[in-house]
Each structure stands twice: as C-alpha cells, then as structure tokens.
Amino acid sequence: KTFLSEMDPPPVSSSRCFASMGELVARLGGKREITKVLIANNGIGAVKAIRSIRRWAFDTFQKDNVVHFVAMATPEDLAANAEYIRMASEVVDVPGGANNNNYANVALIVEIAERKGVRAVWAGWGHASENPKLPETLRSRGITFIGPDGGPMRALGDKIGSTIIAQSAGVPCVAWNGDGIRISGSSEIPDHVYQEASIKDETDCVAQCVRIGFPVMIKASEGGGGKGIRKVEEKDQVATAFRQVKAEIPGSPIFVMKLAKKARHLEVQLLADEYGEAIALNGRDCSIQRRHQKIIEEGPPLAAPPEVWAKMEKAAVALAKAVGYSNAGTVEYLFTTEDGSFAFLELNPRLQVEHPVTEMISGVNLPACQLLVAMGVPIHRIPDVRRLYGRPPFSTSTIDFQEEPRKAAFGHCIAVRVTAENPDQGFQPTSGDITEVNFRSTPDVWGYFSVDSSGLVHEFADSQFGHLFASGSDREHARKNMIMALNEISIRGDIRTTVEYVADLLKSHDYVDNKIDTEWLDGRLSKAASAAAAAQTKKDDDDDGASKKEASKKEEAASSSASSASSQQQGPTKNPGPEIAAALMQQEEQGPPGEHTMAAAHAALILAMRRQADNAHAYVETLGKGHFPNVGSLCSTTQRVELLFKGFKYVLDVDQTAPHTFACANATRKHLSVGGESYVEGSVRALSDGGSLITTGGRSRVAYAAAPPGQALRLTLDRKTYLFDLEYDPSTLRADSAGKLAKRLVEDGATVAVGQAYAEVEVMKMYLPLKVGPDGAGTLRWAKPEGVSLDAGDVIATVDLDAPEKVSKAKLYRGDLKTDVSGSGSRGEEKNNDETDKEEKGDSSGGNATNAALTLSEKAPPRLKLRSATSVLENVLDGFAVPEDQRRLAFVDFAAALKCDELPKGEFEEARAVLRGRLPPELESAFDDIAFPFDPEKALAILDSYIAEDASLAATTAILRSTLARYEGGGLPARAARAVLAFVRRFLEVEREFGDGASLADVVNRLRRAGGDPKRIFDLCRARCCGVDRGACVLELLFALSHQDMNKVDFAPALTELANLRDASSTPVALEAKKLLIQQALPSRDDLVARVGAVVDELAQEGGRPASTIIKEYLRTGLPMRDVAVHFLSSSSSSATDKTRRLKYVELYVNKIYEAHVVTDFRVAPGFDDDNDDDDDNVVAAWTFHS
C-alpha cells in the first residue's frame, strides 16, 4: 500500500462528522478552540498550511471553511499573484521589502493578530518561526502560537544552545568551538555560558578553526535553509566566510564546527504535546544538498541500520522531553556509514519544508496535528496518531509510545524542491516573471506551488516556489515516478529552475545505488567546474600553440619570398600556406553534439518565424500610415540567424518555404551543396501561450523561446532548457540576476586575476561572490557603488584587459546541419522501423528525414502526391523560397500523378467518404458498379441524373460534383489541363497588376488608394520581389502539357492575358503564351488529316483543276503538314491508288517546304517503276526549283 499524503489520505475508519470545532475539541480532550488563524508566512509554507488544514477540516466536519485564515501580503507578493493570497479567507496588507519589514517582524505580527482577533498564529518555517519572542509575546496577549513555547524554542531552536543541551544530555556531537561546555539540571543556558560558546570576532574564528582542524563549517546560530553557513577548507578563507555569514544573518551569534566527511544527513520528525509526551514519526534522509541547502529528500531513511535508527529516534524524543518541547519539530543528525556512528547536528523547533515526506509514509497530517496540539489535544488522542499505532481514531485509550510499535512506513517517498536557481551557475538564485506552471498530480506524484502561470518570483522571495513528492512501493519505484513527473512538468518564464538538473541526478548510478552523502552534489559541481577550467586551460594552450605556428608560418613565407629568384632556377617552391591551414583545421576539436545543433536549428526556425511575423506586421502598419514600406527587407523570405551555444557559433540561413514552413541551412556550407542545400525544414506555428509548435522529420515538439535580460536566447525544447550566449566580453562584468551589490572586494583601479572574487551580491537573502571570468585578467573600473540595486544584465564594472588578444572566440560551426540534426534524436529516441530499414538498404531517397516534403512521394497514393506537389508549386508562385530539390520533386510528382489511372478513383472516394450515409442507396450502388479503371465522366453523368430528379442533392453533393467536374471533357488529360490552368491563373493574380509596366511603388499606391486588403498587398509584394522562379515554374508547367491536352479546356483567355504582359520580367512567359495561342488556332490532328487528305485526293484525280492551283490554295491556308506525314507515308497498302496518294502527298509536302521558291518539275525519279513490287513501300521523286 502506498500512502498519498493529506492530498489523498487513506479512508478514515470509524470516522465521525463533527458539527463544530468545540465538539471536536471536547471529544478529543482538548482545552481550547481555534477557528481563526493568522498565517505569518508566505510562499509554499502558507499554501501547504492552508491546504492541509482545509483538507483535514473537510474530512472531520464535511466542510473546509471551519478555520478562518488571515494572510499577510506584501506588495511584492500581491504583484506576484501568489497562490496563498487567493486561498486565504482574508488578506492583510503589510510593508514590502526584506522580511524584517513583514513576515519576520514580531511586533507587526502581534499587532495584526490582535487587530484581526485571531485565536492563533502559524509561522511555519523561516521568517519569525524560530524567534522565541513571537510565542512569548503572543502568550502575553492571550493568543496561541502554533508551535513550541518560547523557552524550549530558545533552548533548542538556537543551534549553539541546542548543541550545548544535547552534549550535556550525552547525545553524541561533532567537534565544535564549544565542545567542552556542559550544563546540568536545567535547559536554561546562562548568558555567560552562551557567550563562551559563541565566536567573538574574526580573530577568535580563525583560532577556533585552527584548533578544530580544517575543513570546518562557520555557521550562524539563527541561520537555516542554506543561509548563514559557509564551508572553509583553509585558513585564508576564514575572514571572507565569517563576514558573509555575519552579513546574511545580521545579529546572529556564530559558531564553528568540524565538517563531517562522507556523512549522511538524517533527521527525525518529532511531535510533542503540552503534557510532556513526545513521539517520533519516522524520519527523512536529506543528504543531497548544495550550499548546505537540501534539494532532494526521501523517507524512510535507509542508510542507517534499523537498530541504529531506533537509537537516533530515542535520543531525539529524550531531548524533546528534557526541555519540555511541544508541537512539531525535527532533530537532525550526521550519520557516518563507515562506522555506523551518528552525531547531533541541530534541532529545528518548527515544521520543516520537507515534512510531506513523513506525511506520505506515516499517514499523519502534520499541519492538522500542529493545530490539534495547539488546541491542547494530547498526542495519544489525535486520530492520525492513533491510526499510526493501530488504534481506533476516536477511542480514548492511552498508548505506551515507548513500548508499542507503530506501523511500518507506507512504501517510500522522494521529494524534490523546485527552486528558481540556475544549476549552470552554481545554483545561483534567479527572479522574474513566470508564464507557465504546468503540473498535474497523479496517484503516485503530487506537488504544490506558491505561484501559478501568471505570477513571479520576486527578489525578496525564497528561491523555492514548489515541492514535488513521489511515492512508490519501494525506493526504486518512487525514483522512477519522480523522474517521470520531472520530465512532464513545464515551468516557463524569466527564471531558471533545477527541474532538469535534478532529473539527471536521480538517474545517476550513485543515487540509484544510494551511495551519496552531504558532499556528493557539491563534489559533482566541483568536478564539472574543474573540467570546464581544464578545457579552458587546454584551449589557452592550443591558442598559444596556434599563435606560434602562425608566426612560424609567416617566417617561412618571408624566407620563401626572399629566396624566390634562386628557387626559380631549381623549380618552383611549394607554398606552405594551404597545407598549414589544412593541418590546423584538422586539429580543431570535434564539432558540437547533435543535440546542441538540433537546439540551434529549432531556435533559428522560431526566430525566423517571429521575424517574418514582425515584418508582415510592420509592412501592414507602415502601409496603413500612408507610407511605402521597405519591401526589400520586410518582404524578404530569407533571413540570417547567428547563435552562440557552448563555444560554437552557428551562422544559419533560414528560408521561408511556405506560409508556416521554414528551411534552415548552414550558411558556411552553401558552396558545398550540390543539387540543393543540406537543410532542415520544419513547420512552425505560434501557440497562444507564447510557445511554438515545430514539426521536423515527422516529430512535433513544443518549444518556448525568450530573451531574458543578460541572455541572447533561452530555448525550452522537450522540457530541456538551452541558454544561448551573448558575444563573450570579459571586459564587461554584468549582474546575472536581480539583487544588490553588497560589497566591493577590490578597489577601483585594482588588478584582478581570472577566478578572483571581485564583489559580493545579495540575491534572495543570500550573499554570493562574483568572480572574474576566463580571459578577464586586467585593471578593474567600478561602474556601480556599494548598496545599489541590480537588475539582470546591469554592468557592475569594466576591465582593461591585460591580453585582449587572448579572449576566447567561439568556433564557427561548419557541420552538415541535416546530418547532425537527423542523427541527434531527442532524449535518446530510437529510430522507427521504417527509418532503420531505409538505412540498412542504403536508401537515401529525398535525402533527409527532416524534410517531410521529400519523404511523402515514396509510398503516398497519387492524390496525396498531387496535393503535395500542388502545394509546393503554389508556394513557388506565391514567392516563397522553395528549395530546388523540392521543386524538382514536385514537378515529377505532379506529372506522374496526373497520368496515373488510380487518381480519379482516389479523389472521388476521398470526396465521397465525407458523404457516407447522406447519399441515396441507389446512387451509392450505381457508383460502386463503375468498373476499373474508374470513369469519372460516367460517374458525373450518373450524379447529374440523380440531381435532375432531386434538386436537393445539388447542395449535398457539391464537393463531390466539383471533384468529378475536374475530369469533364477528357478524363485525365482534362484534369491535367485544369490543374495547369489553375497555376497560370495564380501567376496572373500577381502579374496582371504589373501588366502595363507599372513600378512596384505605383502598384502598391494604386491598390492602397483603392482600399485593397493590406495582407493581400503584402503577399503580392512578396511574390513579385522574392519569387524569382515564378516565371520558370509556369513555363515548365506549360511545356509539360501537350497541345491536345490544352485543348481540353478553354486556355485561350489565360494565354491571351499572359501574351499581353509587357513587364520585362514576364517576357519569356509572354512569348511562350503567344506560341501556344498560335498552336491553339490550328486545327486538331484529325481535322488536319481530313483537310490534307482532301487536297491529296483532288491532286490524284485526273481531269480536275490544275495541280498548281490546288497547291497554291493549300499553301495560302498556312496549315502544317509534318504533323500528319506519318499518316500518309506509313500505309503498307500496295494498291495503285495508295501509291498515287503517297506520291501526291510528297508533291504537296515538297511545295510546302519550298514555299519560298518555285517548284517547276516534280516527277517520279528515274528507276521508280509503278509495276515493280519490290518498291511498293518507296516513294522516290525528283524536282527542280528556282527563286
């Protein structure tokens, strides 16, 4: 059984529905009612408290509004559209800025509690939750604090005080600066003892660090959540770390403790009441941390053996009882796996942010238990606790918690914190707007967030804004469930998150094998940083080597030039330049991974789509203002996109090949293309949420691209984030995120080295160092004063570089874009069977799986081939930059499809499928009776006969009739003629505007004054200015259509309009149209055979008109003869009549081809004998002529 937390708790056995809070408190043996609570917190803490208590209230009272929640809200939280503000029953405005103005301001909290008449205050975690003045002041005003009293909080909540109490009680502790201090008989720590255990100043800190031995941790006693803690590994780091800890938690005492190496961070969840009882509700393993802040938690802890874990729980309970602790708390330990020892770390007198882990494995709703304890309910009477110990939830029997075992944990739970941090920059906090938070809870995974899709993470907020929890029957099951959830979550906005990074952590071998410790994650980050530094060092060495080779090359060239005279006597000297250049190119590092190239291609497609849309908008806007737009730039279908990613510069040319389709090619390889560019084509459509739907190679992906401050572009593709860089400039030091310049670490004009920290910034209440980047050594000049607020991208300082010539330059990407993207796959996707079969067979038809238009023709039916080819050719006529290989393929498919006998049946059945069940059965049957090959003209006649009988069928069958009408008057030839005619008319839609030779500006102004649609004017300009292949496309289509096919439809009006075009660019098309018009004026072949046959027969008659008269009359008609020669000369008949007809045709033909001359003596050639049967098939003639 897997428990799913309070979001979906197990069935409440023997449950009761109470009418009021008073009835419940009386039933459970409590002392006081609490029905109005002030939430002195924000973010996910407030969300979790309200949600958990409301769920408990609904289960208990069948209504969720029993408790009235008053929430505090700063202007920043209101502007962020924080989730808890919408959930609260009542909202109170409080001052903004740092938390000491609001959520950590005890006086303000107490004042609001009194003014609003609340019965209790819930402070959660962080802010004022560990300030003993809050519970003490509230108690004095008669208001309950949902948490421990001030005394125990002061004793155990303070890290120094709790460590003194723990070591005095015999609990093992790590070495620290107060490890020799003991108290006895009381949990109150005298002030002089506390002062003795605190670090006095920087000098004392150095001395204690040396005494304890490095590495050590310098910690603020009131710190937490990764704030007020620094790891120090050597003496020189102590001063800086001490100052940072002191600045992060102002006024807090500071202590030093030994860093436990290879230790696990295990913690025990406590619940205690005001009657002196305390229990352990299992625990959690929080060993995965960065900067000592937890990032992944899980439970139950598996690192410690059961017998050791039992001792840890027992010690934690004893510690809580010793100081009279009440409500929820957590005891944290460091556990060493090598020897099985554990040492006390601290006790947190509050609820931990990761408490839902314990809820999911125990079934105990902790915020609800906090409320019940605050109302004076004994632990053994709390229903969830009784269920955990196998007791009826509302019975009254006592429980011996020391002896009675609780139920085993319900499976395993893994929790992941969702934080606004950049894992690529050491988990540096980020802030900004959030445009989407898309997460759906499942039976195995649930989560909650402090903001939604219209919120933001502001600079005063905690970096954590969400928490995910995955349950499973065991650890491996929970791990897989969490990975799936992280892969599916979508968070977009100006911030960066740790989602992708944590998903990779969960897949690592160390995590799977549970071989982790508190230094594991920081070790991974350190290794990554070291690898990057090593790569930079290697690059610098390579650059130095290349410089030396270049100098050597120049020396050789100079020497070669100086000795050229003597060299010529011995033969030409070989030029070393090209060989050296080739060798240097071969030594270049391997190109970027295919995944990176795929991201760059997708980014380029999105940018091109957006630029095209912006250009179209700008064109229409300019036109609306009465100005003539810049047609050359705004209507262009080709764009250059330059991107920097992971040290490579991508220079890509993106062509718009269709209204929503773009082709991306490597601009550096265009000269290598043969028969078409090596490109990646994809359809790109804008989504309403700001994303883009991109389809390449049969795979659709949703991508989001934005350009936040300080970045060139951030692309989210397949739930992975790719950050494209600005041009690297080490001479300008910028802020990576919003914050405050807390301290300058060097003077103005000081010399700084690579990797040196030059400033500290405060980001989300944390102090972070800023360091000089690679190649950034030089003299620093400050641009901002201390204390100033910073926005992302702000210039903090500039550097006069010592060696500007050594600044890293991105390598130019020279790879084959098509090959790299096709072979990259996404997230290790496997190729489908069809693609695998193609590669095994060596099939490269179409050349590219990323170009969908090229792969259609292989197996598609003729109707789909024709449709695809028609679309491509229409795009050519509309001025889009259709690649050459697609144009060639479109012409081939167009011609082949229009000659295929399956085309009429396919188009007919496609149109008929829409009308299934709406046609008369008799008509359906008549259609089915048409034999193959399908006769569309017969089908049209049948349809028209039914329409004549029932006129209502005309509207129903309009689509079907228009499909069949394409074949009217000649079947497939007529269909082909109509298809070509449609292209000619599409061409004329643009060209007729310029038929009188008008300029583009005149045409645009004329259309604008006439009220023409601006979108149509834009399309016309694009076709006119960018459609360089439009005329050639029309010519090729006309050439492919035979004279006989053209006569199947009325081509004359369109050809006449083409012939009358006077624009110079239309001259080739106009000339061809004139030729076709002349051909159309000629008779058909059958008519020509008949007319020539009549003349031949008349010439063969004896006693008729003179032959010269008959021949002259025929020549004046201008009719051709060559087209029908075969008909008259190929007869095999040996009759005298046929021989005579052949001879007379030859005589007429000779006069035709000698029309410019006078034939005077046409005769049968000598040797031609009418009676010679051997010459039956021969016509041998002779003639004389003169001018």
Whole-number Å distance between alpha carbons of 824 and 597: 8
**Sheet strand arrangement including 757-763:** 766-771, 757-763, 739-744, 789-790
Q: Give all strands (DSSP E) within 441-545, no chain letters.
A: 445-449, 456-457, 464-472, 490-493
Whole-number Å distance between alpha carbons of 270 and 169: 18
Whole-number Å distance between alpha carbons of 975 and 908: 13
Burial code of 203-217, b = ≥16 C-beta within 10 A, e = fewer? eebbebbeebeebbb
Sign of CA dihedral 563, 568, 574, 577: positive
State the CB neighbour count (10 A cutoff) for residue 154.
23
Is 350 annotated as catalytic? yes
- How distant, in Å, are the alpha carbons of 398, 864, 1176 from that of 978? 93, 17, 46
Whole-number Å distance between alpha carbons of 61 and 75: 35
Within 8 A by CB and 6+ apart from 460, the residues are 74, 76, 96, 97, 98, 99, 764, 765
| Catalytic, out of 51, 55, 291, 350 | 350
Angle between helix axes 1014-1026 and 972-991 (nearest 10 degrees) is: 100
Give me the phi and psi of 144, to 5 degrees please.
-80, 135
Q: Find the helix or strand (DSSP H, E) in which 863 lies.
A: helix 862-877
Is 286:316 a contact under the CB 8 Å cutoff? no
**Which tokens go with 643?**
């991107």
- Compute the residue count for the chain: 1187
Burial code of 887-901, b = ≥16 C-beta within 10 A, e = fewer? bebbbebbbebbebe
Name the residue among 98, 95, 88, 96 with its Cα closest to residue 39: 88
Cα 575–chain centre separation = 49
Is 598:824 a contact under the CB 8 Å cutoff? yes
Query: At residue 328, what is the residue type?
Result: A
Name the residue among 341, 518, 343, 486 with its Cα closest to residue 418: 486
Within 8 A by CB and 6+ apart from 859, the residues are none
Within 8 A by CB and 6+ apart from 422, the residues are 428, 429, 430, 496, 736, 737
Helix (H, G, I), strand (E, B), or coil: what is residue 714?
A: strand
Give me the phi and psi of 907, to 5 degrees please.
-65, -35
**Which tokens go with 588?**
């270049």
Whole-number Å distance between alpha carbons of 154 and 189: 9
Burial of 655 (0-12, 13-18, 19+ CB in 10 A): buried
**Which tokens go with 724?**
């494209």
Whole-number Å distance between alpha carbons of 812 and 642: 10
Is 485:479 a contact under the CB 8 Å cutoff? no
Helix (H, G, I), strand (E, B), or coil: what is residue 1050?
A: coil
DSSP secondary structure of 924-970: HHHHHTPPSSP-HHHHHHHHHHHHHH-TTHHHHTHHHHHHHHTTTTT
Burial of 1038 (0-12, 13-18, 19+ CB in 10 A): buried
Residues forming the active site:
350
